[in-house]
Chains A and B, each alone.
Chain A
Amino acid sequence: MNILVMMLFVSLGLAFSFLAAFIWASRNRQFDDVESPAWRALFDEAKLVKQEELKNVDK
């Protein structure tokens, strides 16, 4: 049953690493705006033709 003790630490470690990730994301404004990304997902990715030409010219 010693495995239980190890599992305890592993699960706590996992939990805290996720918490750290959550705090980091929150600090980088991830959860500030929850409405606009929903709309953004529906926009088409069609880039403007002119911009593509410009980029090719540069290269």
Chain B
Amino acid sequence: MVCVTLKSNMGHLKLNISVLEHREKAFHAQNLKCAHCNSKIDLASGPLIQDNNQNYFCCSGCRVIYTAIENCDLGEYYKIRNQFIDAAKPATEYDATAALKEKFAYLDAIEVRKEYLTHDQQMFFFITGIQCAACVWILEKISELSPGIQSVRVDAVRQLAAVKLNDGGAFADFASWAQVFGYSVRPVQLNENLNLLSTQARRSDLRRIGVAAVCAGNIMLLSTSVYLGADAIFEKLFNWVSLALTIPVIVYGAQPMIRGAWGAMRARVPTLDLPIVVAVLGGFILSIYQMIWGAGRVYFDSISILVLLILSSRYFVHRMQEKFLAYEGDAYSLIPSYAKKVLPTQNTFNLSAQTQIVSTNQLVVGDLICIDEGEKIPADGKVVAGTAWVRESVLTGEPLPRAVLHDSLIFAGTTLLTGRAIMQVTALGAKTQIGELQTTSTTSALLKSNVGRRLETWAQNFTYLVMAIGLIVCVYFSYVGLFAVGFERMLSLFIVACPCALAFGAPLIFSKALLWASSRGVFLRSADVFEKLNNIQNIVFDKTGTLTQGQLKLTSISNTLSNENRQAIVAIESQVAHPIAQSIVSALSSERSNSADLTVTDFQILPGRGVQARVAQRLYQILASETPNIEQQNTILIWVDVFCDGQKLCQFGFEDKVRHESADVINAIRRNQIKNYWILSGDRKENVEAVAHATGIEIKNCFAKQKPEDKELKLNGISQAMMIGDGVNDARAMAKAQVAVIVGGALERALNVADVFLTQDGLKELPLLWQIKRRTDKAFLRIRYFSISYNFLTGLLAVTGFISPLVAAILMPVSSISVLLISLLSVRRPSEAKI
């Protein structure tokens, strides 16, 4: 095939390069993508996975799912997927173990049903892995695949599925089918998920608009006839009906504004609601007075239209914001929703004890649960039986797994890589380490909102000014004896003077900025980031995983190995789920040798040291080196020795390569006048200095052997800092920085530890922050100018009586929409802008 052709063309010059690299070069030109999840296939991670029809996959998980989908005649999925998106986002991590109905049997237990079923017998599930419309389609088709399921309705934006059963159906059916197709599901209670809370709020907002619209529309009809000169009797009748219709508008429709204004008065702080509420209530009272005792105009139409338009525009803005806001995600997706509880009848802490699957909510402290290979740990606890390797990168950021033995502590949310263990629960849910980390980070996030506070002060001053002018006008006119005229002008002023730039413009500009960032894989927790960027003077990098790839690659082999030995080592290491083993396998395996033929016997994992096994009667031991070869290369992180029957065969060196974009990114950021760059790392000095050289960071700003506490201390000394790291282990240091950035964070997003999450591999998109900031600054200037000139002009017209309250009520949304349009059009990505 291709590789053979390449090799023969180049003669024997390149015998030392593994066949893997040849293949890599050839296929990189083709840019191979997985047939199922559409992500780029990483040839370095192992042999190419394909099926009989020339389809290639990034992993056997995708191949399983692809085959399942094709076998069920649902291949339409891929057609729909290709229609809706030109490039599907690469799949995030999900559980690819085959679904068993047993696993989800707990969903149909009576206690669980009682908790989770809604009043119309539906159960809601949070689904991870929904990428586009094709996913909606395939999940809804599950109702046809399984006779017990009546209907599945998917809400793609909120990632929820509502499932209704037929008689005799089971929710476990739905869950297992969803799992087979590659989605992980978790039942949710309606009051638990934040997304659903906002749905309730949205629904009541819609209802208010409905009521306001019905009443305002009818009042307009009636007042039109009055304006056109209805007879006195009808005028009276229509006015009374208008009054009656205005009452629900004020009491129900304007309720949130009235509450806001009341709260503002009690706190002696004016908010945007205050002038509006004064106008509405004032207009209402004046109109009643005019109707009963006077003979002037009534303003029911103005105030009801005003309330309707304000409610509508605020709703519209909220919807836009919701659409553009950064990923919220499921706060509890890190802790699995089910656990294998050891049945109480089992007396011994036996690894093969019988277990029953229960919902995590039903566990109590002291329960014994069993964790199998590849599963996530559902609670904090202590190992009472078994040994295993646990990957805790979600908690500590450490990519290398930790060995756990009897009495070791293990934590919820981490993954058990190899082995099997029984643990005793010590903490659950919000009280686990990961749960506590989530709650603390959310509260600290709420305190960090400067932009909002600045806008509020501006709005308050504006409101003071407007109310002062209005009162002066009113007092002046009543002094002259024309109270009604003065009041009317005051009303017009209050209605028309709208700090829309702040109310609508700012949030929209921020929302568009967030959307722009998220389209490039940069997720921002709030728009405050741009504000903070103004003052950043220092940028602090973590080394491993941030400036470097964070993956161990086998880069040096001290002696050449015979083919036999190579195959044996690959056969042994293929059985281990450890980054070092995977690196060995990908570096050493070749197309010609087939390690699957070799039988591996007496396989033994030596926790903390390595593995050993027999292949063809020879005992191979692959262990962490006691004698690292420090002089040879500075950048080698780990040395591993290979022994055969007691004799040292060779030594492997594993390196963590610097990301090739690191230097470019730092140069790009330098253009923003940021002078100081630092590296804080837990690694050795030589490795840190090598990385500093490669990226152009001054050595005097690089510190090695830093534990998390040391990093935190250093951050105390560095003011105005942006800290960039790759894990939660930097969390404490990040809390001290002005801006915290997490690289490669997919899971960590849910923990809300940082301000910025770069989900594309590496630092490439970091300079985007400054680019977006410049655009938003320009946009703000524009709406500020517009808002000032508009308010000045219309305020003048209102005070001099050229604008009646009705005209004012209509002008106000016109200005709001203008500000909206300006905001939307100002923050456009370079590809969108036509100018």
Q: Which of B203-211, B384-392, B633-641, B718-726 contacts A (4 or more CB under 8 A)?
A: B203-211
Within 8 A of A (CB), among B106-158: 133, 136-137, 140-141, 144-145, 147, 153-158
- Among candidates B137, B145, B218, B237, residue contacting A12 with C-beta atoms closer than 8 Å: B218
B118 and chain A: residue at smallest CB distance: A29
Looking at the assembled complex, report how far the CB atom of A39 sits from the nearest CB atom of chain B, in whole angstroms: 4
Within 8 A of B (CB), among A1-51: 1, 4-5, 8, 11-12, 15-16, 18-19, 22-23, 26-27, 31-33, 35-36, 39-40, 42-44, 46-51
B200 and chain A: residue at smallest CB distance: A32
A35 touches B156 (CB 8 A): yes
Would A26 and B206 be within 8 Å (CB), given that A8-B241, A11-B218, A44-B76 are in contact?
A: yes
Q: What is the CA–CA distance of A13 and B76 in the complex, to the nearest angstrom?
A: 49
A31 touches B206 (CB 8 A): yes
Q: Across the A-B interface, how many residue pairs have beta carbons closer than 8 Å?
A: 73
Q: What is the CA–CA distance of A50 and B74 in the complex, to the nearest angstrom?
A: 12
Looking at the assembled complex, report how far the CB atom of A58 sits from the nearest CB atom of chain B, in whole angstroms: 9
Q: What is the CA–CA distance of A1 and B230 in the complex, to the nearest angstrom?
A: 11
Would A36 and B203 be within 8 Å (CB), given that A11-B218, A11-B221 are in contact?
A: no
B241 touches A48 (CB 8 A): no
A36 touches B84 (CB 8 A): no
- Chain A residues, Cβ within 8 Å of B80: 43
Looking at the assembled complex, report how far the CB atom of B759 sits from the nearest CB atom of chain A, in whole angstroms: 22
B610 touches A (CB below 8 Å)? no
Would A49 and B73 be within 8 Å (CB), given that A1-B234, A16-B214, A31-B206 are in contact?
A: yes
B350 touches A (CB below 8 Å)? no
- Chain A residues, Cβ within 8 Å of B211: 19
A39 touches B214 (CB 8 A): no
Q: What is the CA–CA distance of A50 and B137 in the complex, to the nearest angstrom?
A: 18
B144 touches A48 (CB 8 A): yes
Mask for B228-240, Cβ within 8 A of A = 1, else 0?
A: 0001001001100
Q: What is the CA–CA distance of A8 and B158 in the complex, to the nearest angstrom?
A: 43
- Chain A residues, Cβ within 8 Å of B214: 15-16, 18-19
Q: What is the CA–CA distance of A3 and B80 in the complex, to the nearest angstrom?
A: 57
Q: What is the CA–CA distance of A16 and B234 in the complex, to the nearest angstrom?
A: 22
B144 touches A51 (CB 8 A): yes
- Chain A residues, Cβ within 8 Å of B255: none
Q: What is the CA–CA distance of A33 and B319 in the complex, to the nearest angstrom?
A: 12
A33 touches B157 (CB 8 A): yes
Would A23 and B210 be within 8 Å (CB), given that A32-B155, A36-B155 are in contact?
A: yes
Q: What is the CA–CA distance of A35 and B323 in the complex, to the nearest angstrom?
A: 10
B155 touches A33 (CB 8 A): yes
Chain A interface mostly: helix
- Chain A residues, Cβ within 8 Å of B145: 48, 51
Looking at the assembled complex, report how far the CB atom of B38 sits from the nearest CB atom of chain A, in whole angstroms: 18
B140 and chain A: residue at smallest CB distance: A40
A36 touches B154 (CB 8 A): yes
B84 touches A39 (CB 8 A): yes
- Chain A residues, Cβ within 8 Å of B47: none
A22 and chain B: residue at smallest CB distance: B210
- Chain A residues, Cβ within 8 Å of B74: 48
Q: What is the CA–CA distance of A8 and B214 in the complex, to the nearest angstrom?
A: 14
B137 touches A43 (CB 8 A): yes
Within 8 A of A (CB), among B77-97: 80, 84
- Among candidates B136, B158, B237, residue contacting A40 with C-beta atoms closer than 8 Å: B136
A36 and chain B: residue at smallest CB distance: B156
- Chain B residues, Cβ within 8 Å of A32: 155, 199, 202-203
A35 touches B137 (CB 8 A): no
Within 8 A of A (CB), among B50-109: 72-74, 76, 80, 84
- Chain A residues, Cβ within 8 Å of B210: 19, 22-23, 26
A39 touches B136 (CB 8 A): yes
Chain B interface mostly: helix
Q: What is the CA–CA distance of A35 and B76 in the complex, to the nearest angstrom?
A: 21
B156 and chain A: residue at smallest CB distance: A36
Query: How large, as a class, is the contact surface on chain A?
Result: 20 to 34
- Chain B residues, Cβ within 8 Å of A43: 80, 137
- Chain A residues, Cβ within 8 Å of B221: 11
B218 and chain A: residue at smallest CB distance: A15
A32 and chain B: residue at smallest CB distance: B199
- Among candidates B73, B84, B133, residue contacting A48 with C-beta atoms closer than 8 Å: B73
Looking at the assembled complex, report how far the CB atom of A47 sits from the nearest CB atom of chain B, in whole angstroms: 6
Q: What is the CA–CA distance of A33 and B234 in the complex, to the nearest angstrom?
A: 44
A5 touches B237 (CB 8 A): yes
Looking at the assembled complex, report how far the CB atom of B610 sits from the nearest CB atom of chain A, in whole angstroms: 50
- Chain A residues, Cβ within 8 Å of B147: 54
Q: What is the CA–CA distance of A33 and B783 in the complex, to the nearest angstrom?
A: 32
A15 touches B217 (CB 8 A): yes
- Chain B residues, Cβ within 8 Å of A40: 136, 140
- Chain A residues, Cβ within 8 Å of B155: 32-33, 35-36
Looking at the assembled complex, report how far the CB atom of A52 sits from the nearest CB atom of chain B, in whole angstroms: 10
A36 touches B157 (CB 8 A): yes
B207 touches A36 (CB 8 A): no
A33 touches B158 (CB 8 A): yes
- Chain B residues, Cβ within 8 Å of A47: 144
Looking at the assembled complex, report how far the CB atom of A14 sits from the nearest CB atom of chain B, in whole angstroms: 10
Looking at the assembled complex, report how far the CB atom of B195 sits from the nearest CB atom of chain A, in whole angstroms: 10
- Chain A residues, Cβ within 8 Å of B241: 8, 12
Q: What is the CA–CA distance of A18 and B217 in the complex, to the nearest angstrom?
A: 13
A27 touches B73 (CB 8 A): no
Q: What is the CA–CA distance of A27 and B207 in the complex, to the nearest angstrom?
A: 9
B133 touches A50 (CB 8 A): no
- Chain A residues, Cβ within 8 Å of B72: 48
Q: What is the CA–CA distance of A35 and B73 in the complex, to the nearest angstrom?
A: 26
B133 touches A39 (CB 8 A): yes
- Chain B residues, Cβ within 8 Å of A19: 210-211, 214
Q: Name, among B74, B76, B202, B210, the residue most crowded by chain A CB atoms within 10 Å (CB to CB).
A: B210
A16 and chain B: residue at smallest CB distance: B214
- Chain A residues, Cβ within 8 Å of B207: 22-23, 26
- Chain A residues, Cβ within 8 Å of B84: 39
- Chain A residues, Cβ within 8 Å of B237: 5, 8
- Chain A residues, Cβ within 8 Å of B133: 39, 42
Q: What is the CA–CA distance of A54 and B234 in the complex, to the nearest angstrom?
A: 68
Q: What is the CA–CA distance of A11 and B158 in the complex, to the nearest angstrom?
A: 38
B215 and chain A: residue at smallest CB distance: A15
Q: What is the CA–CA distance of A54 and B144 in the complex, to the nearest angstrom?
A: 11
- Chain B residues, Cβ within 8 Å of A4: 234
Looking at the assembled complex, report how far the CB atom of B705 sits from the nearest CB atom of chain A, in whole angstroms: 51
A21 and chain B: residue at smallest CB distance: B210
Looking at the assembled complex, report how far the CB atom of B534 sits from the nearest CB atom of chain A, in whole angstroms: 36
Looking at the assembled complex, report how far the CB atom of A7 sits from the nearest CB atom of chain B, in whole angstroms: 10
- Chain B residues, Cβ within 8 Å of A16: 214
B213 and chain A: residue at smallest CB distance: A19
- Chain A residues, Cβ within 8 Å of B202: 31-32
Q: What is the CA–CA distance of A11 and B218 in the complex, to the nearest angstrom?
A: 8
Looking at the assembled complex, report how far the CB atom of A24 sits from the nearest CB atom of chain B, in whole angstroms: 11
Q: What is the CA–CA distance of A16 and B155 in the complex, to the nearest angstrom?
A: 30
- Chain A residues, Cβ within 8 Å of B157: 33, 35-36
- Among candidates A22, A33, A39, A50, residue contacting B73 with C-beta atoms closer than 8 Å: A50
Mask for B640-662, Cβ within 8 A of A = 1, else 0?
A: 00000000000000000000000
The 3 nearest A-B residue pairs measured at CB: A39-B133, A33-B155, A19-B214
Known contacts A4-B234, A8-B241, then 11 further A-B pairs from the complex at CB < 8 Å, ordered by chain A residue: A8-B222, A8-B237, A23-B207, A26-B210, A31-B206, A36-B155, A36-B157, A39-B156, A40-B140, A43-B80, A48-B144
A–B complex contacts, Cβ < 8 Å, 10 sampled: A4-B234, A8-B241, A15-B217, A31-B203, A32-B199, A32-B203, A36-B136, A39-B133, A40-B136, A43-B80
Binding site for A on B (CB under 8 A): 72-74, 76, 80, 84, 133, 136-137, 140-141, 144-145, 147, 153-158, 199, 202-203, 206-207, 210-211, 214, 217-218, 221-222, 231, 234, 237-238, 241
